[in-house]
Amino acid sequence: MSNSARSSKASNADKISASAAKLRLLKKLRCTLNFEKRAWAAGAERIAGVDEVGRGSLFGPVVAAAVILYQNDEPAHRIRGLRDSKLLPAERREELAFLIRKHSIAWAVAAVDSARIDQINIYQASRLAMLHAVQQLAPAAGYLLVDAVRLDCELPQQPIIHGDALSASIAAASIIAKVERDRMVSAWDPVFPMYGLASNKGYCTPRHLAALREHGPSPLHRQSFSPVWSAPIPQEVLGFMLDQSAAEVVPSDEEPVEAIAET
């Protein structure tokens, strides 16, 4: 084998996907209360971590959660093992989600559906879902730690890159959002079994892409996403969608957001 061939082979072996590289980075980061402690020291109260799940999915809603995890840095019950939900196995996420719902000051979830995502784009839909999750909190948040973005509200806030891997409050929101979205998408698996939603949660897997080519998109796929709009078979439309279009329904001022909240 020539030196150039060996070099090319070694170079290819060293290459990893962007998602794999990101996971490597996230695993090196330490999830702590450092951001929360600095905010508490500055006088902030009811600090809420905010995150979303499902931006890269081809199917279903983007889901966000907001969690006021602790009142201060000496909570009566400290939840151990909080980290980015992507780094946790499903069973551990469920266990932590139960503890977060039980012991946090407040938590809330909001979802923006695929039709709205197609209208305003996934970035704006993610921010909208996060905002509505924050608005559902009771008691209301006084300060926000947000994963990567800034929200359109007057609350003081700090966007944190890789916040779900660095801030315990954002990690808690990430876990709650991930568990809720997985439940929502899995519920559609019996309706659309060809896509493997129970296992891939709507993300871009070989089976999912093959099903899109063979069957076309379901009514709940995101038509603005390339693997969906480029499918050779047109998107299925349910009867109620046609009825609604024919009825010329006057749009309301309310955003189509599902919300769940607990204290």
| pLDDT exceeds 80 at position 133 | yes
Mean pLDDT, rounded, for 195-219: 97
Would you place residue 240 in the very low, low, confident or very high pLDDT band (cuts 50, 70, 90)? very low
| pLDDT exceeds 90 at position 24 | no
What does the pLDDT read at residue 1? Answer: 55
Compute how many other C-beta atoms are within 10 angstroms of the C-beta atom of residue 126.
Answer: 23
Burial 192-207, CB ≥16 within 10 A → b, else e: beebbbeebbbebeee
Q: In which residue are the tokens 């996060």 written?
A: 130
What does the pLDDT read at residue 8? Answer: 46
Query: What is the percent of the chain with per-residue pLDDT over 90, rounded to a whole number?
Result: 75
What does the pLDDT read at residue 3? Answer: 54
pTM, to two decimals? 0.84
- Delimiting residues of CATH 3.30.420.10 domain(s) in the chain: 28-185+255-262
Candidates 3.40.50.300, 3.30.559.10, 3.40.640.10, 3.30.420.10; correct CATH number of 28-185+255-262? 3.30.420.10
Phi, psi for 235 (deg, rounded to 5): -65, 135
Q: Which residue has the higher pLDDT, 55 or 74?
A: 55
Kindly report, residue by residue over 173-202, the tens digit of the pLDDT: 999 999 999 999 999 999 999 999 999 999
Closest C-alpha to 149, from 160, 138, 139, 135: 160
| pLDDT exceeds 90 at position 158 | yes
The DSSP annotation for 43-73 comes to T--SEEEEEEE-TT-SBS-EEEEEEE--SSS
Mean pLDDT, rounded, for 65-70: 98
Closest C-alpha to 167, from 151, 146, 143, 198: 146
